[in-house]
Amino acid sequence: MKNYPGPLSDHFDGTRFFDPHGAAPKGFGAILRWQFGQRQRSRWPDRVPSPYSDIPPQRVSGGRARFSFVGHASWLIQTADLNILIDPVWSERASPVAFAGPKRVNDPGIPFDRLPPIDVVLVSHGHYDHLDLATLAKLAAKFAPRVVTPLGNEVTMRARNAAIRAEAYDWHQRVEIGGGVAVHLVPTRHWSARGVFDRNKALWASFVIETPAGAIYAVGDSGYGDGGHFRRVREVHGAPRVALLPIGAYEPRWFMRDQHMNPEDAVKALADCGAAMALAHHHGTFQLTDEAIDAPVNDLATALDAAGVARDRFVALKPGQVFELE
Protein backbone atom coordinates (compact mmCIF):
# COMPACT_ATOMS: atom_id res chain seq x y z
CA MET A 1 0.00 0.00 0.00
CA LYS A 2 1.04 3.63 -0.36
CA ASN A 3 2.39 5.24 2.77
CA TYR A 4 0.27 7.58 4.82
CA PRO A 5 1.91 10.99 4.21
CA GLY A 6 0.96 12.74 7.43
CA PRO A 7 3.08 14.59 10.01
CA LEU A 8 5.06 13.01 12.84
CA SER A 9 3.33 12.52 16.18
CA ASP A 10 3.79 10.69 19.47
CA HIS A 11 2.43 7.57 17.72
CA PHE A 12 3.65 8.02 14.12
CA ASP A 13 7.34 8.04 13.17
CA GLY A 14 6.87 9.14 9.57
CA THR A 15 6.52 5.60 8.24
CA ARG A 16 4.74 3.50 10.81
CA PHE A 17 2.24 3.98 13.61
CA PHE A 18 2.87 2.63 17.11
CA ASP A 19 1.23 2.61 20.51
CA PRO A 20 3.52 4.20 23.15
CA HIS A 21 1.64 2.16 25.78
CA GLY A 22 1.29 -1.02 23.74
CA ALA A 23 3.37 -3.83 22.30
CA ALA A 24 4.75 -4.39 18.81
CA PRO A 25 3.18 -7.22 16.80
CA LYS A 26 4.91 -10.58 16.91
CA GLY A 27 7.66 -11.20 14.33
CA PHE A 28 7.75 -13.85 11.62
CA GLY A 29 9.73 -16.22 13.81
CA ALA A 30 6.90 -16.27 16.35
CA ILE A 31 4.36 -16.75 13.56
CA LEU A 32 6.28 -19.80 12.30
CA ARG A 33 6.52 -21.16 15.85
CA TRP A 34 2.75 -20.85 16.25
CA GLN A 35 1.85 -22.28 12.84
CA PHE A 36 4.33 -25.16 12.75
CA GLY A 37 5.19 -25.88 16.37
CA GLN A 38 3.37 -28.21 18.74
CA ARG A 39 0.02 -26.65 18.01
CA GLN A 40 -3.29 -27.60 19.62
CA ARG A 41 -5.83 -26.25 17.16
CA SER A 42 -9.49 -27.05 17.69
CA ARG A 43 -11.40 -27.97 14.56
CA TRP A 44 -14.49 -25.87 13.89
CA PRO A 45 -17.55 -27.26 12.11
CA ASP A 46 -17.89 -26.21 8.47
CA ARG A 47 -21.28 -24.62 9.18
CA VAL A 48 -22.91 -23.40 12.39
CA PRO A 49 -26.02 -21.57 11.20
CA SER A 50 -27.55 -19.04 13.54
CA PRO A 51 -31.27 -19.59 14.17
CA TYR A 52 -31.77 -15.82 13.95
CA SER A 53 -31.98 -13.37 11.06
CA ASP A 54 -32.80 -9.72 11.57
CA ILE A 55 -34.83 -7.41 9.35
CA PRO A 56 -34.16 -3.99 10.92
CA PRO A 57 -36.57 -1.08 10.87
CA GLN A 58 -35.74 1.81 8.57
CA ARG A 59 -34.92 4.14 11.49
CA VAL A 60 -34.90 4.24 15.29
CA SER A 61 -35.75 7.63 16.75
CA GLY A 62 -35.14 9.65 19.90
CA GLY A 63 -33.21 8.32 22.86
CA ARG A 64 -33.59 4.67 21.91
CA ALA A 65 -30.83 2.51 20.45
CA ARG A 66 -31.00 -0.80 18.65
CA PHE A 67 -27.96 -3.11 18.29
CA SER A 68 -28.14 -5.85 15.67
CA PHE A 69 -25.30 -8.38 15.69
CA VAL A 70 -24.28 -9.11 12.10
CA GLY A 71 -21.51 -11.51 13.12
CA HIS A 72 -17.82 -11.54 14.13
CA ALA A 73 -17.09 -7.81 14.74
CA SER A 74 -19.88 -6.37 12.55
CA TRP A 75 -22.76 -4.44 14.12
CA LEU A 76 -25.64 -2.27 12.99
CA ILE A 77 -26.43 0.46 15.53
CA GLN A 78 -29.63 2.44 15.01
CA THR A 79 -30.27 5.56 17.07
CA ALA A 80 -31.29 9.22 16.61
CA ASP A 81 -32.62 8.38 13.11
CA LEU A 82 -29.12 7.33 12.05
CA ASN A 83 -27.97 3.91 10.85
CA ILE A 84 -24.35 3.14 11.72
CA LEU A 85 -22.42 0.04 10.64
CA ILE A 86 -19.28 -1.00 12.49
CA ASP A 87 -16.58 -3.09 10.75
CA PRO A 88 -19.01 -4.49 8.15
CA VAL A 89 -17.99 -7.82 6.61
CA TRP A 90 -20.47 -9.58 4.35
CA SER A 91 -17.82 -11.50 2.39
CA GLU A 92 -17.51 -15.28 2.68
CA ARG A 93 -13.86 -15.08 3.69
CA ALA A 94 -11.79 -12.75 5.88
CA SER A 95 -8.90 -12.91 3.47
CA PRO A 96 -7.09 -11.07 0.67
CA VAL A 97 -8.29 -13.78 -1.76
CA ALA A 98 -11.70 -15.32 -2.39
CA PHE A 99 -10.50 -18.93 -2.62
CA ALA A 100 -8.59 -19.34 0.67
CA GLY A 101 -8.39 -18.01 4.20
CA PRO A 102 -10.84 -18.03 7.13
CA LYS A 103 -14.34 -18.82 5.85
CA ARG A 104 -17.48 -17.82 7.67
CA VAL A 105 -19.44 -20.63 9.30
CA ASN A 106 -22.72 -18.71 9.52
CA ASP A 107 -24.46 -16.15 7.37
CA PRO A 108 -24.52 -12.45 8.26
CA GLY A 109 -27.26 -11.77 10.79
CA ILE A 110 -28.83 -9.24 8.39
CA PRO A 111 -29.10 -10.14 4.70
CA PHE A 112 -27.35 -7.39 2.75
CA ASP A 113 -30.49 -6.61 0.72
CA ARG A 114 -32.47 -6.08 3.93
CA LEU A 115 -30.18 -3.39 5.33
CA PRO A 116 -31.84 -0.04 6.02
CA PRO A 117 -30.26 3.09 4.48
CA ILE A 118 -26.74 3.25 5.91
CA ASP A 119 -25.56 6.74 6.88
CA VAL A 120 -22.17 6.09 8.47
CA VAL A 121 -19.66 3.24 8.55
CA LEU A 122 -16.96 3.01 11.23
CA VAL A 123 -13.93 0.89 10.32
CA SER A 124 -11.58 0.28 13.24
CA HIS A 125 -8.47 -0.93 11.38
CA GLY A 126 -7.11 -2.66 8.31
CA HIS A 127 -7.18 -6.38 9.14
CA TYR A 128 -9.33 -8.35 6.72
CA ASP A 129 -11.89 -9.40 9.31
CA HIS A 130 -12.64 -5.70 9.95
CA LEU A 131 -11.87 -3.81 6.73
CA ASP A 132 -13.66 -5.68 3.93
CA LEU A 133 -13.20 -3.77 0.68
CA ALA A 134 -15.81 -5.78 -1.20
CA THR A 135 -18.47 -4.92 1.38
CA LEU A 136 -17.43 -1.26 1.50
CA ALA A 137 -17.72 -1.06 -2.29
CA LYS A 138 -21.23 -2.56 -2.18
CA LEU A 139 -22.24 -0.11 0.54
CA ALA A 140 -20.81 2.79 -1.46
CA ALA A 141 -22.76 1.75 -4.54
CA LYS A 142 -26.06 1.31 -2.68
CA PHE A 143 -25.99 3.95 0.07
CA ALA A 144 -22.88 6.19 -0.37
CA PRO A 145 -22.32 6.40 3.41
CA ARG A 146 -19.59 8.36 5.14
CA VAL A 147 -16.79 5.99 6.17
CA VAL A 148 -14.93 7.09 9.30
CA THR A 149 -11.64 5.31 9.90
CA PRO A 150 -8.21 5.87 11.49
CA LEU A 151 -5.39 7.48 9.51
CA GLY A 152 -3.98 5.57 6.57
CA ASN A 153 -6.91 3.22 6.00
CA GLU A 154 -8.44 5.73 3.60
CA VAL A 155 -5.46 5.09 1.29
CA THR A 156 -6.41 1.41 1.08
CA MET A 157 -10.09 2.17 0.52
CA ARG A 158 -9.63 4.82 -2.17
CA ALA A 159 -7.08 2.70 -4.03
CA ARG A 160 -9.74 0.00 -4.36
CA ASN A 161 -12.74 2.19 -5.12
CA ALA A 162 -12.81 5.97 -5.32
CA ALA A 163 -16.54 5.91 -4.57
CA ILE A 164 -15.87 4.87 -0.96
CA ARG A 165 -16.31 8.12 0.96
CA ALA A 166 -13.45 7.53 3.37
CA GLU A 167 -12.63 10.12 6.03
CA ALA A 168 -9.50 9.46 8.09
CA TYR A 169 -8.91 10.75 11.60
CA ASP A 170 -6.31 10.50 14.34
CA TRP A 171 -6.62 9.27 17.91
CA HIS A 172 -8.50 11.73 20.15
CA GLN A 173 -10.31 13.44 17.27
CA ARG A 174 -14.07 14.00 17.43
CA VAL A 175 -16.25 13.63 14.33
CA GLU A 176 -19.72 15.18 14.18
CA ILE A 177 -22.27 12.83 12.63
CA GLY A 178 -25.46 14.81 13.22
CA GLY A 179 -28.63 14.35 15.22
CA GLY A 180 -26.74 14.68 18.50
CA VAL A 181 -24.34 11.88 17.51
CA ALA A 182 -20.55 12.22 17.39
CA VAL A 183 -17.69 9.75 17.21
CA HIS A 184 -14.39 9.93 19.11
CA LEU A 185 -11.44 7.83 17.93
CA VAL A 186 -9.58 6.50 20.94
CA PRO A 187 -6.37 4.45 21.32
CA THR A 188 -6.60 0.69 21.54
CA ARG A 189 -3.93 -1.98 22.05
CA HIS A 190 -3.58 -3.53 18.61
CA TRP A 191 -1.81 -3.17 15.23
CA SER A 192 -2.62 -3.23 11.53
CA ALA A 193 -1.56 -4.78 8.21
CA ARG A 194 -2.99 -5.87 4.87
CA GLY A 195 0.09 -7.71 3.62
CA VAL A 196 3.62 -8.77 4.48
CA PHE A 197 5.36 -5.40 4.11
CA ASP A 198 2.84 -2.84 5.39
CA ARG A 199 2.76 -3.52 9.12
CA ASN A 200 1.47 -0.52 11.06
CA LYS A 201 1.43 1.77 8.02
CA ALA A 202 -2.17 2.55 8.94
CA LEU A 203 -3.56 3.41 12.36
CA TRP A 204 -6.06 1.42 14.44
CA ALA A 205 -8.61 2.71 16.93
CA SER A 206 -11.68 2.07 19.01
CA PHE A 207 -14.70 4.38 18.98
CA VAL A 208 -16.66 6.22 21.65
CA ILE A 209 -19.99 7.14 20.09
CA GLU A 210 -21.97 9.95 21.71
CA THR A 211 -25.71 9.35 21.24
CA PRO A 212 -28.95 10.57 22.82
CA ALA A 213 -29.23 7.03 24.25
CA GLY A 214 -25.88 7.40 26.02
CA ALA A 215 -22.27 6.72 25.13
CA ILE A 216 -21.37 3.53 23.25
CA TYR A 217 -17.79 2.24 23.47
CA ALA A 218 -17.08 0.11 20.40
CA VAL A 219 -13.82 -1.85 20.61
CA GLY A 220 -12.93 -3.66 17.38
CA ASP A 221 -9.78 -5.50 18.46
CA SER A 222 -7.67 -4.98 21.55
CA GLY A 223 -5.29 -6.67 23.90
CA TYR A 224 -5.78 -5.88 27.57
CA GLY A 225 -2.26 -4.93 28.70
CA ASP A 226 -2.57 -3.17 32.05
CA GLY A 227 -6.09 -1.98 31.25
CA GLY A 228 -4.93 1.62 30.85
CA HIS A 229 -6.70 2.29 27.55
CA PHE A 230 -10.03 1.21 29.05
CA ARG A 231 -9.58 3.27 32.20
CA ARG A 232 -8.65 6.34 30.15
CA VAL A 233 -11.90 6.07 28.21
CA ARG A 234 -13.78 6.29 31.49
CA GLU A 235 -11.62 9.17 32.71
CA VAL A 236 -11.99 11.22 29.52
CA HIS A 237 -15.48 10.31 28.28
CA GLY A 238 -17.25 9.01 31.36
CA ALA A 239 -18.61 5.52 31.89
CA PRO A 240 -20.32 4.29 28.69
CA ARG A 241 -23.84 2.99 28.76
CA VAL A 242 -22.88 0.06 26.50
CA ALA A 243 -19.50 -1.39 25.54
CA LEU A 244 -19.01 -3.66 22.53
CA LEU A 245 -16.08 -5.83 23.61
CA PRO A 246 -14.24 -8.62 21.76
CA ILE A 247 -13.98 -11.98 23.52
CA GLY A 248 -12.50 -14.31 20.86
CA ALA A 249 -9.38 -15.15 18.85
CA TYR A 250 -7.17 -15.54 21.92
CA GLU A 251 -5.33 -18.89 21.72
CA PRO A 252 -2.46 -19.65 21.96
CA ARG A 253 -2.20 -17.11 24.72
CA TRP A 254 1.56 -16.56 24.38
CA PHE A 255 1.00 -15.33 20.84
CA MET A 256 -2.35 -13.53 21.09
CA ARG A 257 -2.15 -11.84 24.49
CA ASP A 258 -0.87 -8.47 23.22
CA GLN A 259 -3.47 -8.10 20.46
CA HIS A 260 -6.63 -9.97 21.51
CA MET A 261 -8.38 -10.18 24.87
CA ASN A 262 -9.67 -13.46 26.19
CA PRO A 263 -12.99 -13.46 28.10
CA GLU A 264 -11.27 -12.97 31.46
CA ASP A 265 -9.53 -9.88 30.07
CA ALA A 266 -12.78 -8.62 28.58
CA VAL A 267 -14.50 -8.82 31.97
CA LYS A 268 -11.64 -6.75 33.41
CA ALA A 269 -12.06 -4.26 30.56
CA LEU A 270 -15.75 -3.94 31.39
CA ALA A 271 -14.85 -3.04 34.97
CA ASP A 272 -12.13 -0.63 33.87
CA CYS A 273 -14.26 1.34 31.41
CA GLY A 274 -17.20 1.31 33.81
CA ALA A 275 -19.86 0.50 31.19
CA ALA A 276 -23.29 -0.33 32.54
CA MET A 277 -23.27 -3.42 30.34
CA ALA A 278 -21.39 -5.07 27.48
CA LEU A 279 -22.21 -6.96 24.31
CA ALA A 280 -19.66 -9.54 23.18
CA HIS A 281 -18.32 -10.00 19.66
CA HIS A 282 -15.33 -11.30 17.66
CA HIS A 283 -16.34 -14.93 18.09
CA GLY A 284 -18.19 -17.74 16.38
CA THR A 285 -17.99 -16.70 12.70
CA PHE A 286 -14.39 -16.86 11.39
CA GLN A 287 -11.81 -19.21 12.86
CA LEU A 288 -8.72 -17.03 13.19
CA THR A 289 -7.00 -18.78 16.09
CA ASP A 290 -6.87 -22.09 17.93
CA GLU A 291 -9.69 -22.12 20.50
CA ALA A 292 -12.91 -24.09 19.94
CA ILE A 293 -15.89 -22.31 18.41
CA ASP A 294 -17.85 -22.33 21.69
CA ALA A 295 -14.90 -21.59 23.98
CA PRO A 296 -15.28 -17.77 24.07
CA VAL A 297 -18.93 -17.87 25.16
CA ASN A 298 -18.31 -20.66 27.68
CA ASP A 299 -15.21 -18.94 29.04
CA LEU A 300 -17.11 -15.65 29.30
CA ALA A 301 -19.68 -17.24 31.59
CA THR A 302 -16.89 -18.69 33.74
CA ALA A 303 -15.07 -15.36 33.90
CA LEU A 304 -18.22 -13.46 34.86
CA ASP A 305 -19.00 -15.90 37.65
CA ALA A 306 -15.42 -15.74 38.94
CA ALA A 307 -15.54 -11.92 39.00
CA GLY A 308 -18.96 -11.83 40.65
CA VAL A 309 -20.51 -10.04 37.66
CA ALA A 310 -24.07 -10.88 36.68
CA ARG A 311 -24.21 -12.78 33.39
CA ASP A 312 -26.89 -10.46 32.03
CA ARG A 313 -24.43 -7.55 32.29
CA PHE A 314 -22.20 -9.02 29.54
CA VAL A 315 -24.21 -10.74 26.83
CA ALA A 316 -23.04 -12.78 23.85
CA LEU A 317 -25.55 -12.60 21.01
CA LYS A 318 -25.72 -14.86 17.97
CA PRO A 319 -25.78 -13.38 14.44
CA GLY A 320 -29.22 -11.95 13.81
CA GLN A 321 -30.01 -11.31 17.47
CA VAL A 322 -30.91 -7.82 18.66
CA PHE A 323 -30.43 -5.82 21.85
CA GLU A 324 -32.45 -2.63 22.44
CA LEU A 325 -32.03 0.33 24.77
CA GLU A 326 -35.10 2.32 25.68
Q: Is residue 96 part of a domain?
A: yes
Residue 41 counted as domain residue? no
The answer to whether residue 299 is domain-embedded is: yes
- Among 212, 265, 221, 264, CA closest to 244: 221
Grade residue 2 by pLDDT with cuts at 50, 70 and 90: low
Which residues lie below 8 Å from residue 2, measured CB to CB, with a gap of 6+?
Answer: 155, 159
The reply to whether 72 falls in a domain is yes
Q: Which of 3-7, 59-63, 173-177, 206-210 has the lowest mean pLDDT?
A: 3-7
Query: Rg of the chain over CA atoms, in angstroms?
Result: 18
What's at 202, amino acid-wise?
A
Residue-level pLDDT at 275:
98
**What pLDDT is recorded for position 61?**
96
User: What's this model's pTM, rounded to 2 decimal places?
Assistant: 0.97
The answer to whether 74 and 284 are in contact (CB under 8 A) is: no
Grade residue 69 by pLDDT with cuts at 50, 70 and 90.
Answer: very high
- Where residue 197 sits, what CATH number does that domain have? 3.60.15.10
Q: Does residue 30 form part of some domain? A: no
Whole-Å CA distances, 90 to 42, 82, 261:
25, 20, 24
The pLDDT tens digits for 151-186 are 999 999 999 999 999 999 999 999 999 999 999 999
Residue 138 C-alpha from the chain's centroid? 19
**Greatest CA separation for the chain:** 54
Residues 232-276 have pLDDT tens digits of 999 999 999 999 999 999 999 999 999 999 999 999 999 999 999
Strands (E), 211-319: 216-218, 242-246, 277-281, 314-316
135: confidence class by pLDDT, cuts 50, 70, 90: very high
Nearest of 326, 296, 290, 289 to residue 314 by alpha carbon = 296
Q: From CA 116, how far away is CA 59, in angstroms rounded?
A: 8
With a CB cutoff of 8 Å and minimum separation 6, the contacts of 31 are none
Residue 4 belongs to a domain? no
Containing domain of residue 100, as a range? 58-325
Number of domains the chain contains: 1
C-alpha span between 256 and 223 (Å, rounded): 8
On whether residue 36 sits in a domain, the answer given is no
Q: Please state the rounded mean pLDDT for residues 69-85.
A: 98
Cα–Cα distance between 101 and 187 in angstroms, integer? 28
Q: Does 127 reside within a domain?
A: yes
Report the distance separating Cα 324 and Cα 326, nearest Å. Answer: 6
Mean pLDDT over residues 127-134, rounded?
98
- Residues 14-53 pLDDT 10s: 999 999 999 888 887 888 888 887 778 999 999 999 999 9
Q: Mean pLDDT score of the chain, rounded to an integer?
A: 96
